[in-house]
Each structure stands twice: as C-alpha cells, then as structure tokens.
Amino acid sequence: MIDKTAFITSIAGKFNTLLAGEKGPIKDDLEKHTKAILHSAFSKMELLTRDEFDAQVAVLQRTREMLEALEARVTELENALASIATSSTTLTDGDA
C-alpha cells in the first residue's frame, strides 16, 4: 500500500504540473487546500499499511486454526461423555 504522505505529495505534484503556467497565490492556495483536504480524507479513512493488514490476516488465521482445534476437541469430549453415559445407563439397567 502506498504511503499516505507520498500519495498526497504525488497528487500535489500533479496539480503543480497542471498549473505550471500559473503563478502567484492561486496556485499556492490551491495546492495548500488540496493537501489539507486529502490529509483530512485519509485521516477519516483510518487506512492500514500492507504490513499491518498482513499481520492482522496472520493473527486471524492463527485464531481460526485454534478455534477449529477447540471445536474438534469439544466434539471429541462430547462423544466421550455420551459414550460413558450410554455405558453407565446400560450397566444400571442391567442391575435392575
């Protein structure tokens, strides 16, 4: 992902190219306001860098793997408990 500051500077540079023939306060004012608007917009978006995104994907993947392992273990324990309960019931019924 592109760096926010570099992106804003790039856009400002494109405005400078478009306004190459212009001089004075109009060009300076437009550049200043464009940078301010872009900074504000990017701040509101709360963008992540690619590294931050990849780190969150890795954390999410590990969490998913742990959840799947826990679900399998719970199923295994439930089956074992059901098996014990069934054999207990069979022994109790046989004694009566």
Owning domain of residue 66 = 48-96
> Is there a single domain that holds both residue 65 and residue 95?
yes
Report the residue count for the chain.
Answer: 96
61 and 40 in a common domain = no
- List the Cα angle 39/42/44 in 5-degree steps: 110
Q: Is 23 helix (H, G, I), strand (E, B) or coil?
A: coil
Asked if 33 and 10 touch (Cβ cutoff 8 Å), the reply is: no
Contact 27, 13 (CB under 8 A): no
Position 89 scores a pLDDT of: 75
Q: If you ran DSSP here, which 8-state letter would residue 62 be given?
A: H
pLDDT over threshold 90, residue 50:
no
How does pLDDT run across 14-44, given as a tens digit for each residue? Answer: 777 777 776 677 777 877 887 888 788 877 8
Residue at a domain's end among 47, 62, 82: 47
Query: Would you state the structure tokens that stand for residue 88, as one six-digit string?
Result: 């207990």
Q: Are residues 13 and 37 in the same domain?
A: yes
Q: Global pTM?
A: 0.51
More confident residue, 6 or 96: 6
Of the residues 47, 63, 85, which one is the last residue of a structural domain? Answer: 47
**Total domain count, the chain:** 2
